[in-house]
Structure 1
Amino acid sequence: MNSFRETNGYQSIEINNLQEIYNEAQDQLVFKIWGFRENPTKSTLYHFLSIIFLGLPYLIFSSYPKLKKVKFKPAALDFATTILVCDNHGNSNFIKIENEKLTLPNVNVALENLRYFLYQHTKYVWDSNSNTFVTLDNVIPSQTVDEYLNNTDGLTDREYRSRLDLFGFNKIEVEVKSYWTLFVQEVLNPFYIFQAFSVGLWLVDDYISYAICVIILTLFSSITSLIQTRRQSEALHDLVESSKCHEVTVLRKEGQINEKKIIDPVELVPGDLIVLPASNYVMPCDAVLLTGQSIVNESVLTGESVPVTKTALHSSSESYDIEAHKRHTLFSGTHVIQTRYYGDEDVLARVVRTGFDTTKGSLVKSILFPVPIGLKFYKDSFKFILVLFAVAAAGMTYCLYLYISRGAPLKHVIIRTLDVITIVVPPALPAAMAVGTVYSQNRLKKIGIFCISPPRINVCGKIKIACFDKTGTLTHDGLEMNAIIPSKNSEFCPVVTEISTLDNEDKLVQGMATCHSLTRIDNEINGDPLDLNMFEFTRWELHEPGENENERYDMLAPTYVKPHGTHIKDTSKLPYEIGIIRQFTFSSTLQCMSVICRDLRETNMIAFTKGAPEKLFGMCLRETLPTDFTIKLSQYTAQGFRVIALAYKHLPNKLKWVEAQKIKRNVIECDLTFLGFLIMHNPLKEETAPVIKTLHNANIRTVMITGDNILTAISVAHDCGMVKISDQLFILTLENKEDPHGIPDLKFERASGNLPTDSVTVDFSLDHHHFAIDGRTWSKLKYYYPDMIPSLLVKATIFARFQPDQKTQLIMFLQNLDYIVSMVGDGANDCGALKAAHVGVSLSQAEASVAAPFTSSIPNISCLVHLILEGRCALVTSFAIFKYMALYSLIQFCTVLILYKEHSIMGDYQFLFIDLIITTSLAVTIGRQGPSNELGSKRPMSSLVSAKNLIPLILQIFTCAFIQVATIYYLFQQPWFRPIPSNTIEPVVVSWENTSVFTISCYQYIILATMYSKGRPYRQMLITNFWFLVTALSLTIFTTWLIVYPCKYVADLMNLVYIPHGRRVENYFKYSLLGFPIVHFLVALLIEVGISDREWLKKFIQFVSCKSMPKNRYKLLLQQNGYQSLINVDG
């Protein structure tokens, strides 16, 4: 077995003709590939049979690609001409391996003969050294940060051409297929082929009018579907195209010099050196910033509308990584608001990814090739359709027996038998199931919630756990500066609430005025809300000089700050201004940021660092830290305050501007002098607490995942009701007491009174207790106690100091416990988690965002309640329509079989009336019912084939059949009735048998549609669905008229027996038929209200099935924890 590890985190294992591609970051299989070569004999036979059978094998093989293996023979991957790709969701496809002549300098693999295949817009290249297919990330060798910084040359023409051959053009193309192509794909759908078969059969059977109407309606349905599909493709295409630029300036090496060239962005390749314009530019690729800085709006990717400052790479020997260095990387599709550099120098960036390999391309691919949702409803619907086919087979067998025993002609036997299957399996079933989702999507759009993955609306109805980011999601974005606690001589000073009490030259004030990433855009200060609030508290001014101010700070003019209203009377003195020489932007890994500054009046530079107190504690000199540092921090974080630590250090006098631009970050962020705490208040949004209460009442678990301090998170959890005051809360930590290199001990600290106390004994059987875990503990848990994570996760409520990748990991762990997971965040550091969750909701004002399946312009978590309500409504509606369509076909199936037995059949216009007027109108209007206004504690069922769902359904089927049989036997009891002669060869349409059973069956469709339109607990009451009521009432009145006294024209048109007014006996019979639908209505109501909705049915099923253990892993763990003995943890 040969193995090969790719640099982008993918691992490949080659076994004979098999290779497995793993995503190492997510520790899961992506897909498998098998090598094949075409077998000429088998291939020729395949094409011959396809011609003989009018293309049927082509159709079957296109629907089930894995069957194409019959054309091929297995081959080692290095000799294969075709590969079979099977992903971990069961999808498979055959892909041809391409071959190209290519020579490429400076790459890891020999590429004179390039073999590759394209799968979901990703190129996999054959590496002859490892005998595996690798992604293009592995073709170009990784470079260190210093190598990027030291190489300021553009590509030569030969290098460019070679790379263009390998990587292709820089395109993210969302194909908008022509209407003709979409139409061909649509009609090749198995259901449409079945529809065509049915229409052909009806034409042979002289159902001309019905067949023509079905053709017209099918064309109308197809065209509507095509338009909808086309619009969705155009919307995504326009979203991708809206974030494109039209030209780009690159540096190309001509001889020994770099020359500027303006090219089309599609011609860019990895390694190109681009020159960024001064402002208003859309990035055409992923590129690392080498010089200057850039202010970027990344809302199209993250949903975060606050501008982000990107700075040039800092000198380092570490390998460049696009995720680790994202603060220095400009991403494709993002809007560059401004770029800045000193003097006339260009702002340069090196292209690292192009096309679908960019971050934007990956997000687009996740939309084009979504991960299957796996909702049981969709799987069960196909099982149910197979059951319908089985029922049809039984009906066909009965028809064969019936007509053969009567000695009917072969044509009649074949037509009557095949006709059964067209009745039992309704071709419009898939389209009808989507009605509820379409209505829900439109309602969501009206309230400002946009969806790019409509099938996920149904998943919203099954959410079991709701995860929330804290800042900007549960709490407001803006932070209110509450106080400052300065530190002097290793002691905390009195609390300062007014900045004017401190001297402007105080180092704490200077740090607050400079240690940020704020910038001016259109003469307004923009940036992170925390930085903005801190700076405004100082009442200083921020200036970004123009070219005429290049006289200061070592001949270069950086951004500078000064106290508000500073005026120098003595012009010979230098003003009190502090220039920000260099920024080390905030890193979620380091949890801090730093700046290098210089007071214009001083010769030496100074560095300021601000960030998480826990991080700065280890960066500061011990002698500068107050002894009550931890106590003071706990006091404020436990009250819900956001605490930021600030520190500084003097830099050597000899450090000049050039050295400052190259100094490493770790040199700055050490041996600092602690300055004090900034105490900020991050108030809850008004809607947060009521929504959390609503979710808890709905039996939906809530979890907080934040990058903030654990005690601050605990306080917010108490304030919003995520953790009740009466609940037990334990902070989980891992500590090495004796051997620092040994396995750390688990330690549970009770957060009593919002402050941790001594280690305690934790009883997992307690219902009202929670765990709080920070990112550092999480990493250790995964390494030392992986088996314990599931048991902890079912009780953990607070996850603090979590980095973006840890948030994604947590979401996936919860999914592995069989939770249906939702994640709500502002998009900034939550993108991975939002995409990983079953239901990801990005709070953003940008409608055109691919940050998550759902984007809400409602700026609070109440949007999740709307989504759950609509999801439950859509899921229940889809169930209702599916059951109605299934019962409609079975009702008609019973009607047809009864009439076949009595030598009769239904007429052309009778089929039209049932299929097109009754069923279609009712199925469409059922979906118009809106969601309930209240979120109940019970989730709707997601399984069609569960006993609780099937038992009422079977009872309804038997009720329908019984009423129809009772009707025909009631007819037989009439003394005036004369049956159709048994020696009749041609079936009779106009007969009392037909009239009686047909009219009663019409009522049954209306009755069942009414039963499946019940409102509570997931939908609004039936009386609110105006169009359904109008439709059902109109159809009931018309059907009653058809029974009681239709005019002769209508009776003849509908193939009914016409009875003149004077024939009282027959008319009394028709009046008495009205009792059957009344009885049916009462029985159907009893089944739905007295059986289907009752808890006793569920308990009875569990008793009969001897169900004792839950199916979901999280429920099983909760049950096991309930019986688990006390876990003693040594304090």
Structure 2
Amino acid sequence: MPSSSYGYEPIGDPCHQILDLNLEDVHCNLYGYKESRLRSFFYHLCGVVLLGIPYLVCSWFSPLRTVKFKKCHLEEATVVLIKDAHGNDDLLKVKTENAKLPTQEHVRLRFFHYRHAKFVWIPRQEVFGPLDLLIPTQTVDGLLDNTEGLFYNDYVDALKLYGPNKIEIEVKSYWRLFIDEVFNPFYVFQVFSIILWCLDDYYIYACCVLILTLFSVITSLRQTRKQSEALHDLVESSKCHDVKVMRQNLLSENIVQDADPEELVPGDLLVLPKSNFVLPCDAVLLTGQCIVNESMLTGESVPVVKTSLHSSNEVYSPSTHKRHTLFSGTYMIQSRYYGDEQVLARVVCTGFNTTKGALVKSILFPTPVGLQFYKDSLKFVLALFVLAGAGTGYCLYLYLHRKAKIMEMVIRSLDIITIVVPPALPAAMTVGIVYSQSRLKKLKIFCISPPKINVCGKVKLACFDKTGTLTHDGLDMHSVVPVAQAKFTEPITDCQYLETGDRLVQAMATCHSLTQIDEKLTGDPLDLSMFEFTGWHLEEPGEDETARYDMIAPTIVKPDKPLKEAGDSPDFPYQIGIIRQFPFSSTLQCMSVICRELNSQNMVAFAKGAPEKVLTMCQPETLPEDFVVRLSKYAGRGYRVIGLAYKEMSEKFKWKEAQRAKRDVIECDLIFLGLLVMQNTLKPETTPVIKVLHNANIRTVMITGDNILTAISVARDCEMVKETDQIFILNTRNTRNDDQNVLPELVLESTASTPTSSVSIDIDVTKCHLAIDGRTWTKIKTFYPDLLPNLLMRTTVFARFQPDQKTQLITYLQSLDYVVSMVGDGANDCGALKAAHVGVSLSQAEASVAAPFTSAIQDISCLVHLILEGRCALVTSFAVFKYMALYSLIQFTTVLILYRQHSILGDVQFLFIDLVITTSLAVTIGRQGPSKRLGAKRPPGSLVAAATLVPIFLQIFLCVFVQIGTLVYLYQQDWFKPVPPKSKEEVIVCWENTVLFAVSSFQYVILAFVYSKGRPYRQTLIHNGWFLACAVALSCFQVWLLIAPSKAVAEFFEIMFLPHRAHEQVDFRYKLLLIPIGHLLAAVFIEVAVSDREWFRKFLHHVTLKRIPKNKYKLLLQDNDVRLNLLHL
């Protein structure tokens, strides 16, 4: 088989390979390298000479570490560089070992471990690939035929090949976390700044920043350690302590022995206990059956029945044969077997290769979901560094011209960098997120990934699961609609009106997967409601009662009241034994059971499932003519409809035949019994929330595993599809005998008429919605991939979707540049919750540990709170970033002007600006809560957009203009005497310093006030009492400091003291106060009359020649000429 079919593709360069694993969402580039002594020598020499700086830089950027290696053919590589699709790099060592494959072939393995997966060199294809590619596939019959345990030597070889069966979550020590954290570029820059400030005798602020840095580091360490411990505890809680495994001794005899779960290998034969057992690996069930709880993996706490494999020539696959596969981490409630037969399971996957391992890896290595704001902020910081470089150059020029001391020149020049790029910037930007997280916690919405709060502010599409999310979790019985002589009779709402011996009642009493656990009936909510409707009882008899059922121990159901017609007596009560069960299959959309009444020789098969499926299983003459009409009627009203059927088995059909019978033989030629109608009501909060989202121009879609007509009805009920809008079902129709390889025809089915009427319509995109099911989705992906973007823009209901299809859909929607949220109850939604930009779990199940948000509010109103808080946090992050950037540029301007004037800001002045003014305002500016109303306008997401940059540049220009204007005004005063130009020492107490310090101090408060505006995303400024108190207090103090400071205060702040007799200077200071007032008015005008106005955005679009939107989904929405003429696709 060609390598490309596996997804491991060598390309023209023998040093380079593409590694593409869809199952693990891995798309990587591999580059081969080998040792070079010469390069390694020069690398370490530079590292020593430059005091370890190259080592530090290389630790930040893995590709730089390849300088000590040279590129080579992958076959010779001793090191590989892996670059994934998200820009992450890893440099890994290639190891070698001798190994023995299960085929008994001895090989020399070259391999490396990447994200807990083992990749080996495959000589035939000249690529690296997973170990599985060296292992031959197994058929179902092959697994069933081999019931022998492993020999000890084979076990040792397998343990060496696969490694131990461990999912080990490393919990790093605090010391190691501390080392990793402090060598982060941000903290290295902070340490550099603190050292520089100490050399400049700026001790107070250096100590303050050091304390804040230590607090930030400790908080980060605690959070990281807490998350690691939580995941470690989650994994450890689902571990078992010992297992029984069957292995062969020297005499080739199978011996059952105790084993450590970590020593299990693929191929081992597990002997399962009777109950209470946590699966340590993925294993396929060879004999007996098990009842397991898979909530660890799916979030669904309903017990699932696993049955042993049935003979088949199919290649075994855990996904295809999941009904026969026991998954690692799931809890086996009990096992069942017949006679002395042991319950055996063959180990197929261990460690991180298991389904549980894949879940853990998805948590350890989530797909990065970056917000444009963070990317732009990095660009902005880089621009600030460039500006700092220019400022440093100018500073060097000034001090070289003055022939200053080398140390002074270096300190002053480097100080420019810490001014232009404030070390407190990242910490300040998290202020809004911290406040939002605190408010969300009060609303019982918990967050494990705080940066995702900002992402909530950009949500453009909201996806919802149906059952348990939009509707109540449980299902209530509405009625049963019996069939007599191929005609529907009147619906029955109480089972007492049906005879106990009626086949319809028997079908409801037997066709389910319920079980008794701790004397409590447990199972699927639908099955529970159906069984409780009958009023029957379920028993799981002991071995002393098996003689009545051909020496097996079946599940027994019996009516509450005696059935006299059937000869019910204490010796032979009326009972039905469930001999065999074919579990519900989401692929087949049905389940069936084989039963026998006590004292009856004949067996009966009962089946239930989706009505469309049951229709195909029944004899046509037993189906009512108005079947489709009646089904559409109930489904159209939002009811969950189930079809029921049965057939009598022949007298020759005994227990052995029942155990050997194929499912398709049982599920055919049935007699239709009727419909089971169940109701699943909307939660009261659903419709109002959908209206709020629509009013905010946030698109809503439903992704459910339920019937498509039921889903459409719920979509209409909650007004996801408005009453005046049309909705069509998009379906596929094969043109030749349902051949899977033939290009299918796409057809539309109108929900206004019968669902079988195929129509061809040019869709009016403004008033039309589509609904598709999982089968159609797969067909369109395969045969019409180019049509998907247009279809996704028009589809509101996605029904009968499997968990993996939900994840695929979320990914496709993201590819259209939607910021996607997904709200689910945890059942089968885990993949979609992880894939979405914003995943909200309404379930407390363990699987929700992967969702960034978990809500104790069990309805979708939590999403509105998240979007409101997200918008508030995002706007606050923007405001704080702009404020901190302008604060640094204001100080940068002040310092450069003073440097030119042979002056400088004093330590107290720096401290007052950096700590008292800026820190207090930056911290309190984010205390404003979110707006109460979710508006249609979303906050900006980009810092480098013209609409954001132009107002920032206007504010920068205004600040520089005010400072230069202030200095010019000072020069015009007759009494003013400048600092002597030949002064060798920098003068602090002078009029240039005093004036610029006073005016610039006002500028920091003015800009904080300008960027603290509330509407439309935050509450008005009046609600932020802390900020107002700080701003007013600082303004009053600065007015006093400017006009009439006391001598002691003037000396403390190192400003010019104003004697009372100096009337001209007093008049100057009062006039100087007008400059901040004018600056305030101009800054507010820029922000309110320019930045926030629609005319300004339109003007920018005209200037920048922006004619089309950048988002793909907006381009598709603008294409008004698009019509889906489905007869001519």
- Shorter-chain TM-score bucket reads over 0.9
- SS of structure 1 residue aligned to 2:826: coil
CA 1:727 to 1:300, structure 2 compared with 1: closer, same or farther past 3 Å? same
* More displaced stretch, 710-719 vs 542-551: 542-551
- Residue type matched to 2:746 in 1? L
Match of 2:610 among 609, 612, 615: 612
CA 1:259 to 1:745, structure 2 compared with 1: closer, same or farther past 3 Å? closer
Distance in 1, matches of 2:212 and 2:738, equals 75
1:847 Cα offset (Å): 6.5
- Residue type matched to 1:672 in 2? L
Distance in 1, matches of 2:334 and 2:18, equals 44
Equivalences for 1:582-661 in 2 at 5 Å? 582-661=580-659
**Deviations for 1:1105-1125, whole angstroms, at most 9, x for unmatched residues?**
2211121111112222x0236
Match of 2:270 among 271, 274, 282: 274
CA 1:1077 to 1:659, structure 2 compared with 1: closer, same or farther past 3 Å? farther
1:1007 Cα offset (Å): 2.3
Match of 1:322 in 2: 318
Distance in 2, matches of 1:747 and 1:570, equals 55
Distance in 1, matches of 2:53 and 2:631, equals 73
Match of 2:733 among 729, 732, 735: 735
Distance in 2, matches of 1:1125 and 1:602, equals 62
Match of 1:179 among 156, 160, 174: 174
Match of 1:431 among 409, 427, 434: 427
Say whether residues 1:101 and 2:115 are aligned partners: no
CA 1:1021 to 1:148, structure 2 compared with 1: closer, same or farther past 3 Å? farther
- Residue type matched to 1:703 in 2? V
Say whether residues 1:286 and 2:282 are aligned partners: yes
- Residue type matched to 1:169 in 2? P
Distance in 2, matches of 1:681 and 1:635, equals 13
Distance in 2, matches of 1:523 and 1:864, equals 39
Say whether residues 1:61 and 2:43 are aligned partners: no
Say whether residues 1:245 and 2:226 are aligned partners: no
CA 1:972 to 1:625, structure 2 compared with 1: closer, same or farther past 3 Å? same
CA 1:634 to 1:543, structure 2 compared with 1: closer, same or farther past 3 Å? same
Match of 1:44 among 35, 38, 41: 41
Match of 1:974 in 2: 973
CA 1:4 to 1:1112, structure 2 compared with 1: closer, same or farther past 3 Å? closer
Distance in 1, matches of 2:1126 and 2:749, equals 12
Distance in 2, matches of 1:848 and 1:981, equals 72
Equivalences for 1:143-292 in 2 at 5 Å? 143-254=138-249, 255-292=251-288
Match of 2:957 in 1: 958
Match of 2:775 in 1: 776
Unpaired runs of 5+ residues, structure 2, are none
Distance in 2, matches of 1:188 and 1:738, equals 65
Match of 1:849 in 2: 848
- Determine if contact 1:705/1:799 at 8 Å carries over to the other structure: yes
* More displaced stretch, 1032-1041 vs 112-121: 1032-1041
Match of 1:392 in 2: 388
CA 1:854 to 1:833, structure 2 compared with 1: closer, same or farther past 3 Å? same
Distance in 2, matches of 1:296 and 1:932, equals 47
1:877 Cα offset (Å): 1.9
Distance in 2, matches of 1:187 and 1:406, equals 38
- Residue type matched to 1:576 in 2? Y
Distance in 1, matches of 2:1088 and 2:17, equals 55
CA 1:853 to 1:566, structure 2 compared with 1: closer, same or farther past 3 Å? farther
Task: Tell me the C-alpha RMSD between the 2 structures.
Answer: 2.6
- Determine if contact 2:193/2:423 at 8 Å carries over to the other structure: no
- Determine if contact 2:299/2:828 at 8 Å carries over to the other structure: no
Distance in 1, matches of 2:776 and 2:614, equals 18
- Determine if contact 1:539/1:564 at 8 Å carries over to the other structure: yes
- Residue type matched to 1:1118 in 2? L
- Determine if contact 2:8/2:19 at 8 Å carries over to the other structure: yes
- Residue type matched to 2:306 in 1? K
* More displaced stretch, 589-598 vs 993-1002: 993-1002
CA 1:417 to 1:24, structure 2 compared with 1: closer, same or farther past 3 Å? closer
Match of 1:125 in 2: 120
- SS of structure 1 residue aligned to 2:150: coil
CA 1:1069 to 1:59, structure 2 compared with 1: closer, same or farther past 3 Å? same
CA 1:1068 to 1:367, structure 2 compared with 1: closer, same or farther past 3 Å? farther
* More displaced stretch, 664-673 vs 421-430: 664-673
- Residue type matched to 2:260 in 1? D
- Residue type matched to 2:48 in 1? I
**Deviations for 1:984-1019, whole angstroms, at most 9, x for unmatched residues?**
111112222222222322222222223222222222
1:343 Cα offset (Å): 5.4
- Determine if contact 2:747/2:1126 at 8 Å carries over to the other structure: no
- SS of structure 2 residue aligned to 1:545: coil
Distance in 1, matches of 2:512 and 2:60, equals 57
Equivalences for 1:516-555 in 2 at 5 Å? 516-555=512-551
Say whether residues 1:948 and 2:937 are aligned partners: no
Match of 2:108 in 1: 113
Equivalences for 1:782-931 in 2 at 5 Å? 782-846=781-845, 849-931=848-930
- Residue type matched to 2:177 in 1? L
- Determine if contact 2:826/2:845 at 8 Å carries over to the other structure: no
1:541 Cα offset (Å): 0.9
- Residue type matched to 1:529 in 2? P
1:257 Cα offset (Å): 3.6
Distance in 1, matches of 2:271 and 2:174, equals 41
Equivalences for 1:552-591 in 2 at 5 Å? 552-566=548-562, 571=569, 574-591=572-589
Distance in 2, matches of 1:341 and 1:1091, equals 78
Distance in 1, matches of 2:1006 and 2:186, equals 27
- SS of structure 2 residue aligned to 1:78: helix
- Determine if contact 1:239/1:848 at 8 Å carries over to the other structure: no
CA 1:965 to 1:241, structure 2 compared with 1: closer, same or farther past 3 Å? farther
* More displaced stretch, 574-583 vs 935-944: 574-583
Distance in 2, matches of 1:833 and 1:974, equals 70
Match of 2:997 in 1: 998
- Determine if contact 1:252/1:273 at 8 Å carries over to the other structure: yes
Distance in 1, matches of 2:418 and 2:979, equals 26
CA 1:393 to 1:61, structure 2 compared with 1: closer, same or farther past 3 Å? same
**Deviations for 1:728-785, whole angstroms, at most 9, x for unmatched residues?**
2222223356887664433233333797766243144x41211122223223323333
Say whether residues 1:720 and 2:718 are aligned partners: yes
* More displaced stretch, 11-20 vs 608-617: 11-20
- SS of structure 1 residue aligned to 2:967: helix
1:321 Cα offset (Å): 1.5
TM-score (norm 2): 0.95
- Determine if contact 1:817/1:1112 at 8 Å carries over to the other structure: yes
1:1062 Cα offset (Å): 6.2
Distance in 1, matches of 2:1033 and 2:261, equals 61
- SS of structure 1 residue aligned to 2:556: strand
- Residue type matched to 1:261 in 2? Q
CA 1:12 to 1:550, structure 2 compared with 1: closer, same or farther past 3 Å? farther
CA 1:334 to 1:263, structure 2 compared with 1: closer, same or farther past 3 Å? same
Equivalences for 1:322-471 in 2 at 5 Å? 322-342=318-338, 346-471=342-467
- SS of structure 2 residue aligned to 1:850: helix
CA 1:334 to 1:867, structure 2 compared with 1: closer, same or farther past 3 Å? farther
Q: Percent identity?
A: 61
- Determine if contact 1:301/1:850 at 8 Å carries over to the other structure: no
CA 1:561 to 1:1064, structure 2 compared with 1: closer, same or farther past 3 Å? farther
1:637 Cα offset (Å): 1.1
CA 1:554 to 1:380, structure 2 compared with 1: closer, same or farther past 3 Å? same
- Residue type matched to 2:419 in 1? I
Unpaired runs of 5+ residues, structure 1, are none
- SS of structure 2 residue aligned to 1:883: helix
CA 1:738 to 1:172, structure 2 compared with 1: closer, same or farther past 3 Å? closer
- Residue type matched to 2:77 in 1? A
1:538 Cα offset (Å): 0.9
- Determine if contact 1:315/1:662 at 8 Å carries over to the other structure: no
- SS of structure 1 residue aligned to 2:599: coil
CA 1:21 to 1:514, structure 2 compared with 1: closer, same or farther past 3 Å? same
- Determine if contact 1:750/1:760 at 8 Å carries over to the other structure: no
* More displaced stretch, 198-207 vs 1007-1016: 198-207
